[in-house]
Amino acid sequence: MARGYDEPVSLRAVDFHVHLPTPDWLEGSMAGYLEAAEAYFRSPAQRESLQELAARYRQLEVQAVLLAWDAETATGRPRVPNETVAAACRDYPDAFTGLGSVDPHKGEAAVAEVANIASLGLRGVKFHPSLQAFAPDDPAYWPVFAACEQHGLLALFHTGTSGIGARQPGGQGIRIDFAHPLKLDPVAAAHPGLTIVAAHFGWPWHCPGSSCGAATSRSSRRNAASPNSTASACRPMSWTRCCTRTPPASSG
């Protein structure tokens, strides 16, 4: 039986943003992008099998949130299937949980894939507006977000600049303006039951991003005060780094 969201876990932290260190991601989805990213972060990508990755997270007493990937339309590179991440979570349930991915350009197929992600037991959907080359505030893509809301899946967005394409001519065609955090505010306003997570704090636009988060918090308080609304009807935005500390249990 899947663990409930509100059940206690024995973890020091949750690593909320873990791309697969395997060839399907590094040599497949990131083909032609990896070298620039490694130079930007001044560190080579560490290759590991999923078994090795699970062992490392167990040793750290940290749970990893694995990410699928689908940017086929914009990049022409192969996807990391949602089934791959779901299988890893089944094989190593103490070390991994996971988020799926859909290519927003795939229209009705993307909406159907959101339902598949839910059926696989994954917890949400990861979007990378810059690499997927789409603007989240364009209503043409909102059926995908509505499907996430319908199935109770959170929506994790890459926000801010990107090490992928950094210091390359034209940034390898990757537009970081698509990842401005203010593009998530219309999404949150139009989908009040959708939990939105903005990764990386939207740097270097963290100040306007924070104002967007504050606006959604005010909306949450208004909705909670309404007799026709519940907490699930508000539109929270979570601002996370890669690793989120698990708070200590209350002594009271």
- The reported pLDDT for the residue numbered 13 is 92
Q: Give the rounded distance of the alpha carbon of 240 from its chain centre.
A: 10
Q: Tell me the CATH number at 235.
A: 3.20.20.140
Residue 27 lies in a domain: yes
Residue 79 and residue 29 in contact, taking contact as beta carbons nearer than 8 Å:
yes
Buried residues in 41-57 as b, exposed as e (16+ CB within 10 A): eeeeeeeeebeebbeeb
Residue 42 lies in a domain: yes
- The reported pLDDT for the residue numbered 3 is 57
Residue 4 lies in a domain: no
- Going residue by residue through the chain, which has 252 residues, state the pLDDT in tens, using 9 for 90 and above: 555 555 665 788 999 999 999 999 899 999 988 888 888 888 888 899 999 999 999 999 999 999 999 999 999 999 999 999 999 999 999 999 999 999 999 999 999 999 999 999 999 999 999 999 999 999 999 999 999 999 999 999 999 888 888 788 888 889 999 999 999 999 999 999 999 999 887 777 777 666 665 444 433 333 333 222 222 222 334 433 333 333 344 444
Distance CA 133, CA 162 (A): 13
Q: What's the whole-model pTM score?
A: 0.81
Residue 251 lies in a domain: no
Residue 8 lies in a domain: no
Provide the domain limits for residue 163.
Answer: 13-245
Q: How many domains does the chain have?
A: 1
- The reported pLDDT for the residue numbered 36 is 85
Residue 3 lies in a domain: no
